[in-house]
Amino acid sequence: MSTAPEKKPSKIKVFLKSAALILPMFLIGALIGIIGAESLLNVIGTDDFGQYLLGVGWLLLCFYLSYVLQIILHEGGHLVFGLLSGYRFVSFNVMGFIWQKGADGKLRFGRMQIAGAGGQCLMAPPEYNGGNFPFTLYNLGGAAMNLIVSALCLVVALVFRQAVYLYILMMCMVLIGVFFAIMNGVPLPVPSIQNDGTNLLCIRRDMNARRAFWVQMNVAAEQAQGKLPSDMPEEWFAPLPEEAMDNPIVCTIAVMNTDRLMSSLSFTQAEAAIRKLLARKKGVLGLYRMSMSCDGATCELLDGRPGDLCESLSSKENQQMMKAMKTNPSILRTQYALALLKDRDADKAAKALAEFDKAAPQYPYQQTIAVERQILLAIQNAALRQEA
């Protein structure tokens, strides 16, 4: 099946999507500038240039601290409201640093970058109960926490308005918190990964999406216990109705099935499933397109016929996400395969393998690392066959 690029959307749709993403950022940036300028006027009045520079530095530091703190608070909101809804903790990821509860009940630290997301809190859901399980509070918990903390910071800022440095910090917290609440709680068209508001809309409208969401959360919980997708119940990955597949949450189950096929080393089946999904005009998010393109390219190379899937990795979108997730094992494995089987560059392949070995110990899913090493061995064997 062809993986030709999708038909480009109209210029009006592109403009509206871009405006929906850029406008909140512009407004928040403008407000931070206004508040910072207003507060720094007090500093300028001292005629002390050194203190003025200190004030500017403090504004920049507050902006960064507020950004990091609001990410933590956002994911903490998912955790708190998830626990209140009967969910169980699985993992907590902030800016690529992940804490995960293993099969022995102990927390383990690792590194896992997610393109398009500053953090992620995964939890195991309650029983499915025919689709009658809680999902609203968990999905909106992050945005709600951002707003709650922003409101508290606003009160502090107004009470201590004359304390310039505290005021700047509190107002940065307010503005960044509101920004996070809008960008995550309001359904917005983000190409690489859906936000919480969009997820909630999808789940509420479609029972297939509700089932798919429940399965995805359970897959994450099982992975934290050391299981591979190929070890999980087969019915979790059963095909869902084709008419429901335009919903990204539903389509993600099919994406997970390609992971299941790769983890069982069923490369021919995996490539066929990947091609079918990449040919879809709707449903497959950008992050998953990149991930499947990597797996599909590996399948092509193992079969000795580098083709369109390998070429798709050079697209701007894929390159950006691969760079953002440069320590991901499947990306490093794909780079190794490209170097060894396509470019025939032993030095480049050795560098990719060294990067893989460096990143592997910190990756939270060591069962995935074991599978990736099997794929690396298959790549090496394919290279030997080419030389023979």
The model's pLDDT over 160-186, given as tens digits with 9 standing for 90+, comes to 888 888 988 998 899 899 989 988 888
Which of the residue ranges 56-70, 112-126, 242-256 would you say has the lowest mean pLDDT? 112-126
16, two tokens: 């509206």
Q: Which residues pair with 107 in a beta bridge?
A: 101
In contact, 337 and 301? CB cutoff 8 Å:
yes
Q: How far apart are CA 353 and CA 336, in angstroms?
A: 6
How far lies 163's CA from each of 40, 63, 157, in Å?
12, 17, 9
Q: Is the pLDDT of residue 13 over 60?
A: no
Q: How far apart are CA 204 and CA 216, in angstroms?
A: 16
Q: Is the pLDDT of residue 229 over 50?
A: yes
Write down the pLDDT at residue 359. Answer: 93
Q: Is the pLDDT of residue 60 over 70?
A: yes
Write down the pLDDT at residue 126. Answer: 94
Q: How far apart are CA 226 and CA 369, in angstroms?
A: 11
Query: In this structure, are strands 119-124 and 88-94 parallel, antiparallel, or unpaired?
Result: antiparallel
Mean pLDDT of the 228-253 span: 89
CB neighbour list of residue 158: distance below 8 Å, 6 or more residues apart: none
Q: Is the pLDDT of residue 109 over 50?
A: yes
Write down the pLDDT at residue 294. Answer: 96
Q: Is the pLDDT of residue 272 over 50?
A: yes
Does the reported pTM lie above 0.85?
no
pLDDT band at 105 (very low <50, low <70, confident <90, very high): confident
Q: Is the pLDDT of residue 24 over 70?
A: no
Domain ranges of the chain: 23-87+125-186, 198-387
The residue type of 4 is A
Q: What is the mean pLDDT of the chain?
A: 86
How far lies 329's CA from each of 50, 64, 376, in Å?
47, 29, 11
Q: Which residues pair with 127 in a beta bridge?
A: none
Closest CA to 71 of 197, 163, 166, 183: 183
Mean pLDDT of the 333-349 span: 94
Q: How far apart are CA 73 and CA 146, in angstroms?
A: 6
Q: Is the pLDDT of residue 333 over 80?
A: yes
Counting beta carbons within 10 angstroms of the beta carbon of residue 47, is it exposed (0 to 12), middle (13 to 18) or buried (19 or more)? exposed
The model's pLDDT over 354-374, given as tens digits with 9 standing for 90+, comes to 999 999 999 999 999 999 999
251, two tokens: 């389509």
Write down the pLDDT at residue 36. Answer: 59
Closest CA to 145 of 165, 125, 166, 121: 121
Element spanning 123, H or E: strand 119-124
Q: Is the pLDDT of residue 23 over 80?
A: no
Write down the pLDDT at residue 2. Answer: 39
Q: Is the pLDDT of residue 106 over 70?
A: yes
